[in-house]
Structure 1
Amino acid sequence: MEYVWIATGAGVVTLLLAAAVVRRRRSSGRRASKRAHEAAQQREPPVEIGETYEFGVAEFTDHHSGDRVAVGKVEGFVLFTADVPDSLAEGDVIRARVLSFNRGRTSADATFVERA
């Protein structure tokens, strides 16, 4: 009977430690994301409005208008690219023209030009 209590106690301690590790990793990821966002606000964007840039599509997201938008980066700077063909897939390399910056100048909206 004593072994059952010891095993139960060890199991509870293991669960508590695992929960603490998971929680710490999540908050660490949030801190890193916040630091990256703050650093992006301090630097000048590496792109210019009206210029065309080549980059790989990292993912797709839905624009607030409901349109599918390709997301990619130029020197770590995020571009949200509209008017992408339906046949475009993650990993494809495209060229896009920068149209505008967001309010904090930490990302920009662009329009699809062509596949690279």
Structure 2
Amino acid sequence: MNTIMIGAGAAVLCLLAVGVVWRRRSGSSAGQSQRAHRDAQQRTPPVSLGETYEFGVTEFTDHHSGDRVAVAKVEGFVVFTTDVPAGVSPGDVIQATITSFNRNETSADAIFAGRP
């Protein structure tokens, strides 16, 4: 009986230890994300309205507009690009023209302008 109690206690301690490690790791990731967002709010965007830029597509996502958009970064600044042809894949380089910024200028919307 004592062996069972000791084993159960050890199992509970192991589960608690795993929970603490998991929480610290996920908290660290959330903290890094919050710091990056705060830093983005405090800097001037590296892109300008009406200008065309060349960058690599990192992924595709559904934008708040409901459209499928290409996601890219210019100097760490996120650019969501619409009207990207179906043949474009993550890793492809495209050109896009900046059309607007979000409210805090931490990201921009663009429209596909072609391939280099």
Pairwise TM-score range, normalised by the shorter structure: over 0.9
d(CA) in 1 for partners of 2:3 and 2:91?
A: 55
RMSD of aligned C-alpha atoms?
Answer: 1.2
d(CA) in 1 for partners of 2:99 and 2:26?
A: 34
TM-score, normalisation: structure 1:
0.93
What's the offset of the Cα at 1:92?
A: 1.2
Q: Deviations over 1:22-43 (max 9, x none)?
A: 1111111111111111111111
d(CA) in 2 for partners of 1:58 and 1:5?
A: 52
Structure 1 segments, 4+ long, off by >4 Å, are: none
* Pairing 1:8–2:5 present: no
What's the offset of the Cα at 1:110?
A: 0.4
- Stretches of structure 1 that go unaligned for 5 or more consecutive residues are none
Residue identity matched to 2:75: E
Identity of aligned residues (%): 61
- 2:111 paired residue number: 111
Name the SS for the 2:56 alignment partner. strand
* Pairing 1:96–2:83 present: no
- 1:82 paired residue number: 82
- 2:23 paired residue number: 23
Name the SS for the 1:8 alignment partner. helix
Name the SS for the 2:32 alignment partner. helix
Name the SS for the 1:66 alignment partner. coil
Residue identity matched to 1:97: T
d(CA) in 2 for partners of 1:89 and 1:27?
A: 32
> 59-68 or 9-18, which moves further after superposition?
59-68
d(CA) in 2 for partners of 1:46 and 1:64?
A: 23
d(CA) in 2 for partners of 1:91 and 1:9?
A: 50
- 1:39 paired residue number: 39
Residue identity matched to 2:14: T
Q: Deviations over 1:49-100 (max 9, x none)?
A: 1111111111111123321100010000000000011121111111111111
